[in-house]
Structure 1
Amino acid sequence: MSSKSPKTPFKLLIPGALLKRVDYYVTNDDYSNRSEFIVRAIRDYVDKLDYVKAIDKEYAMFEDKKNKEEKSTDDKEDSIRSGSR
């Protein structure tokens, strides 16, 4: 059994100027062919999107925690002020 995941055909039309750039990297870097380069580029981009999504989620959790802590501090200060009257 092959360790590689099954492949699905995918037709891609790209502008000639972009194809020239792809060919440059295929020729000058360690890519066997255009397909290998395109798959690597897609994987890198999807990984980047996943990373940004994870950071956004982490930031939202941080903001939520910070807001809860601020509210808790405000509530304590309000209770101290009301008790001192």
Structure 2
Amino acid sequence: MFEQVGRSECEASMRAGSSRDIGWIVAIGSCLKTWRERRAVRRRLREDLARLDERMLRDIGVSRRELLEVAYRPFWCP
């Protein structure tokens, strides 16, 4: 239901960059990009969730608390 953004790209960049001095800069840049994308996805999720009423949440079988836990998860967590 919820999209996981870029975790494999971030990890792959870190592994690939470990053999070169400049690689760690690329890896950090990739991780920052991943975090920014996650933050944007979760911001849109929070905005969408704010529009759902309790009946709609029951229809999809999710409580407001469960949705808010995902929406407010720190951007660095997958």
Q: TM-score normalized by structure 2?
A: 0.43
The structure with the larger Rg is 1
Which structure shows the bigger proportion of residues in helix conformation? 1
Give the number of the structure with larger relative contact order, counting CA–CA contacts within 8 Å between residues 6 or more apart: 2
